[in-house]
């Protein structure tokens, strides 16, 4: 069994894609998926890892899709950010059912529902072992929750951003479209940018590059993967600055 001495990271920022929360459904939130994720997050808390969480909103609304359907883009992005707050509330519920203390903070003030994002308070909660869910993305349209995850990760001085997604790492091409795509185990930020590897938006990658924040992309739907990473094992793809020359 892993114990607190085994953990590699003291503080992580976990990004969960909204779509993962749908499970087998085409829209919305599947409580069974939430419960499974909550248990996996609980395992990290159990070995003493401080967990910040950013959840996407793609299971409910995405600004770009709403805009393509005729809505104003900024209105669509506002709806997308509100969707992330709904997902955060559902996740807090699931964490509490597993007796894991958690807080939801929102980049957009929403008095009476969740507290407003405050970096110093967030760090205090993290130090106290509470899971902090950062919702409403960055609070600005035209951004994504990947960028929000990297931003919050850098702000709260997380050791790494863990991007949980449908695929088990970064590939030479989108593995959902190209069956011959091959997975990388490690990449530099510039390689992701130069090769236009679409697993994360470029704003997020640039932000991490500029602040030397490592990112690991892995498959959430693989039992034990999250704990495996937390104790220092290889899973998915690590994106970080490479110190050796070409």
Ligand X SMILES: Nc1ncnc2c1ncn2[C@@H]1O[C@H](COP(=O)(O)OP(=O)(O)O)[C@@H](O)[C@H]1O
Ligand Y SMILES: O=c1ccn([C@@H]2O[C@H](COP(=O)(O)OP(=O)(O)O)[C@@H](O)[C@H]2O)c(=O)[nH]1
Binding residues for ligand Y (CB under 6 A): 17-19, 56-58, 62-64, 76-77, 80-81, 83-84, 137-138, 140-141, 143-146, 148
Calpha distance 189→194 (Å, rounded):
9
Residue closer to ligand Y by CB (options 143, 189) is 143
By CB under 6 A, name the binding residues for ligand X. Answer: 17, 19, 56, 58, 165-167, 170-171, 173-176, 197-199
Residue closer to ligand X by CB (options 12, 100) is 12
Calpha distance 159→13 (Å, rounded):
8
The neighbour count for residue 225, using CB atoms within 10 Å, is 20
Residue closer to ligand X by CB (options 45, 164) is 164
Q: Tell me how far, at minimum, the Cβ of 21 lies from ligand X, in Å.
A: 11
Q: Hey, CA dihedral for 185, 190, 193, 194, is it positive or negative?
A: negative
Q: Tell me how far, at minimum, the Cβ of 49 lies from ligand Y, in Å.
A: 22
Q: Tell me how far, at minimum, the Cβ of 32 lies from ligand X, in Å.
A: 19
Which H or E run includes 65? Answer: helix 63-68
Pairing state between β 131-135 and 102-106: parallel
Q: Tell me how far, at minimum, the Cβ of 231 lies from ligand X, in Å.
A: 24
145 marked as binding residue = yes
Which H or E run includes 91? Answer: helix 73-97
DSSP string, 135-198: ESTTSSTT--HHHHHHHHHHHTT-SEEEEEESSSS-BSS-TTT-TT--B-SEE-HHHHHHTT-T
Q: Tell me how far, at minimum, the Cβ of 167 lies from ligand Y, in Å.
A: 13
Chain center to CA of 207: 15
Q: Quick one: what does residue 50 bind among ligand Y, ligand X, none, with the CB cut-off 5 to 8 Å set by partner type?
A: none
Residue 215 backbone phi and psi in degrees, to 5: -130, 135
| Residues contacting residue 177 through CB under 8 Å, at least 6 positions apart | none
Residue closer to ligand X by CB (options 101, 203) is 203
In the complex, residue closest to ligand Y by CB: 56
DSSP 239: E
237 marked as binding residue = no
Residue closer to ligand X by CB (options 7, 216) is 216
139 marked as binding residue = yes
Which positions make up the binding site? 15-18, 57-58, 62, 77, 138-145, 165, 171, 174
**Residues at the annotated binding site for UMP?**
57, 77, 138-145
Residue stretches of the annotated binding site for ATP: 15-18, 58, 62, 165, 171, 174
């Amino acid at each position: 069994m892993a114990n607190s001495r085994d953990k590699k990271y003291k503080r992580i920022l976990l990004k969960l894609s909204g779509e993962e929360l749908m499970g087998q459904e085409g829209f919305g939130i599947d409580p069974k998926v939430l419960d499974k994720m909550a248990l996996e997050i609980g395992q990290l808390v159990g070995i003493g890892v401080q967990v910040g969480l950013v959840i996407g909103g793609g299971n409910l609304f995405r600004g770009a899709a709403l805009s393509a359907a005729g809505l104003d883009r900024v209105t669509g992005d506002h709806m997308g950010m509100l969707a992330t707050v709904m997902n955060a509330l559902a996740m807090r519920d699931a964490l509490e059912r597993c007796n894991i203390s958690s807080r939801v903070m929102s980049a957009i003030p929403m008095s009476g529902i969740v507290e407003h994002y405050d970096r110093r308070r967030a760090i205090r909660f993290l130090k106290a072992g509470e899971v902090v869910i950062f919702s409403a993305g960055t609070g600005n349209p035209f951004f994504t929750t990947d960028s929000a995850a990297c931003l919050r990760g850098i702000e709260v001085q997380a050791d790494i951003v863990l991007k949980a997604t449908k695929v088990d790492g970064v590939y030479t091409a989108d593995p959902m479209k190209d069956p011959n795509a091959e997975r990388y185990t490690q990449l530099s930020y510039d390689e992701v940018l130069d090769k236009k590897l679409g697993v994360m938006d470029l704003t997020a990658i640039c932000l991490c590059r500029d602040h030397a924040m490592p990112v690991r992309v892995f498959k959430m739907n693989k039992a034990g993967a999250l704990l495996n990473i937390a104790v220092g094992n290889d899973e998915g793809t690590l994106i970080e600055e490479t110190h050796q020359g070409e």
